[in-house]
Amino acid sequence: MLRLLEIRDILTVERLELAFQPGLNVLTGETGAGKSILLDALGLALGWGDRADLTRPGAERGEVTAFYLTDFLARQFDAFVWRSLGLDRNPDLRDDYFGNYETLVYLAQTDDPRLTEIARGCADRLGLAFERRFTGLAPFAALLADGVKDNPPG
């Protein structure tokens, strides 16, 4: 499931991070608000081809980065990415799935060197550069606390 779409230099968007929630996500807005830009960027992320006409004027190139690993996905990479996409049986599909990406971003929730090395190995297997961003668990703790406050047990 896509959790985050990061857009850089696509049409009028210099930089944007769009987080998705589990389930159905709906985009609404006035005419000209940018809904179609988001859909075009999502198409680039899904490998629907290189669209030079989407690059923001004055920018060298447009970029969409949509492949992120969390601690869970680093641990379960073989099951949820490698085998589920058939890369274990058809490694030549790697470029079809990941050819538009340059970097695998590991969103480290814990400071575990072993998981960092696993994530780095995932990037190597995909032929991508590796970047680690420590996020910690604090953002999730706040979301959980808000959810419990709004929906107390009992």
In this prediction, residue 18 carries a pLDDT of: 80
Give tens-digit pLDDT for 14-53.
Answer: 888 888 777 777 878 787 788 888 877 777 665 555 566 6
Give yes or no: residues 75 and 135 share one domain: yes
Does residue 147 sit within a domain? no
Give yes or no: residues 17 and 57 share one domain: yes
The Cα–Cα gap between 122 and 82 comes to: 9
* H or E element at residue 123: helix 113-126
- Confidence tier at 143 by pLDDT (50, 70, 90): low
Give tens-digit pLDDT for 125-142.
Answer: 999 989 888 888 776 666
The Cα–Cα gap between 139 and 44 comes to: 28
Residue 94: is its pLDDT beyond 60? yes
In this prediction, residue 89 carries a pLDDT of: 96
The Cα–Cα gap between 92 and 76 comes to: 21
Give yes or no: residues 131 and 73 share one domain: yes
Give yes or no: residues 100 and 119 share one domain: yes
Does residue 150 sit within a domain? no
Overall domain count for the chain: 2
Q: Of 35, 64, 93, which residue sits at a domain end?
A: 64
- Confidence tier at 149 by pLDDT (50, 70, 90): low
Biggest distance spanned by C-alpha atoms of the chain: 57
Give yes or no: residues 47 and 96 share one domain: no
Give yes or no: residues 26 and 87 share one domain: no
Give yes or no: residues 23 and 56 share one domain: yes
For the chain, how many helices (H) and strands (E)?
Answer: 6, 6
Residue 146: is its pLDDT beyond 70? no
In this prediction, residue 76 carries a pLDDT of: 93
In this prediction, residue 58 carries a pLDDT of: 81
Give yes or no: residues 79 and 136 share one domain: yes
Mean residue pLDDT of the chain comes to: 80
Q: What percent of the chain has pLDDT over 90?
A: 24
Domain that holds residue 22: 4-64
Give yes or no: residues 120 and 71 share one domain: yes
CATH no. for residue 42? 3.40.50.300
Give yes or no: residues 127 and 79 share one domain: yes
Does residue 154 sit within a domain? no
Does residue 124 sit within a domain? yes
Give yes or no: residues 78 and 111 share one domain: yes
85 half-sphere exposure, CB direction, 13 A CA radius: 16
Give yes or no: residues 59 and 80 share one domain: no
